[in-house]
Chain A
């Protein structure tokens, strides 16, 4: 065993991992190496002293002070009751989604399936719009009416974005409620 290995073994020793085979090699090295022997002796004193003076008794009366303060605090309630607002938000999101799902095809005179397809194609178009900077160009060039016309063409697709956002918010609210019901983690 060399000194580097001895240091590692010493750390295991002071970690209270004292398997007999490693211990034998350690003591054998310590018998022949003064530097490591001194390190071992010094750490034994230092760490032994620390471990012997670990527990400290609190002053008397401190417990009473703590309980007095605890008793002045509001009584704890189970966190499930606080989830009422989250349930409400979740329900609101679901209702809003249903309204959108029903109203969008009616207002646009298209079927539900067409609406979803239209939404998907909108996403593709939106990417193109961002790349082409059409809207920015129209706005900057002052062609407000053209910009408005383009915007109106996209209005029916905004319903689809609102639909996805609402579903997302609804899922998030339900997930939040589930996380609240479960015991929190450290």
Chain B
């Protein structure tokens, strides 16, 4: 039977660093995805990935087992990303450096169109103000619930719901405007 997250954390706090390797293995995809979807730049993602897990390791003594470890770790990852973005004040997307779960489409043209569409949607998400972008990423890309997002973002559920509502409409308006621009330029 697999040890629980709390069990592994207790081992880490007892001085067993190898137990942390198991935690890292369990949550690496989640954390990497959160960071990638919030940041976009591949090199930054790798650096931040390491920084987040170092911070998680150093903060293990503050973890409250009443909350899920995924939520707690995602909160740390989100805070690290937002801090970095505020320092940088810009972010960039590199489509060529994406490493994704394999797509089922086999037709090269379809693959290209699908990638184009993903890129445009990705750019639209990246263009959202932070307070709207983060709920979109956490809900639609990472699958966190409203309750979990309230913990991660330290905001009431009602505010997050409102922001997600507005973010969806903003995304739609942005993409519609881009389509019109492309149609006019042709």
Contacts and interface: CB of A to CB of B under 8 A. Distances in A.
Interface in B49-108: 49-50, 53-54, 57-58, 60-67, 71-72, 75, 98-101
A47 interface: yes
Contact of B136 (A50, A63, A70, A186): A50
Nearest to B15: A75
Interface string B14-31: 110100110011001110
Contact of B20 (A42, A43, A67, A77): A67
A47 B13 contact: no
A47 B137 CA distance: 10
Contacts of A49: 117-118, 121
Category for how many chain B residues contact A: 35 or more
A66 B29 CA distance: 14
Contacts of B101: 55-57
A184 B140 contact: no
Given A73-B54, A183-B64, A58 B17 contact: no
B99 A183 contact: no
B168 interface: yes
Interface in B37-57: 37, 46, 49-50, 53-54, 57
B15 A54 contact: no
B50 A69 contact: yes
A77 B121 CA distance: 46
Nearest to A41: B172
B37 A54 contact: yes
A19 interface: no
A21 interface: no
B54 to A, nearest CB: 6
A147 B124 CA distance: 72
B59 to A, nearest CB: 8
A39 B46 contact: no
Nearest to B142: A54
Interface in A31-75: 39, 42-43, 45-47, 49-51, 53-59, 62-63, 65-67, 69-71, 73, 75
Contact of B168 (A47, A51, A58): A47
Nearest to A57: B99
A75 B15 CA distance: 5
B143 A54 contact: yes
Given A51-B141, A185-B64, A57 B29 contact: yes
A47 B57 CA distance: 34
Contacts of B65: 183
A58 B32 contact: yes
Interface in B139-186: 140-143, 146, 151, 161, 164-165, 168, 171-172, 175-176
Contacts of B143: 51, 54
A145 B36 CA distance: 73
The 6 closest A-B pairs by CB, nearest first: A184-B62, A58-B32, A54-B141, A50-B140, A75-B15, A79-B61
Interface of B: 12-15, 17, 20-21, 24-25, 28-30, 32-33, 36-37, 46, 49-50, 53-54, 57-58, 60-67, 71-72, 75, 98-101, 117-118, 121, 124-125, 136, 140-143, 146, 151, 161, 164-165, 168, 171-172, 175-176
10 contacts: A15-B164, A49-B118, A50-B136, A55-B30, A57-B100, A66-B50, A67-B21, A78-B14, A184-B61, A185-B64
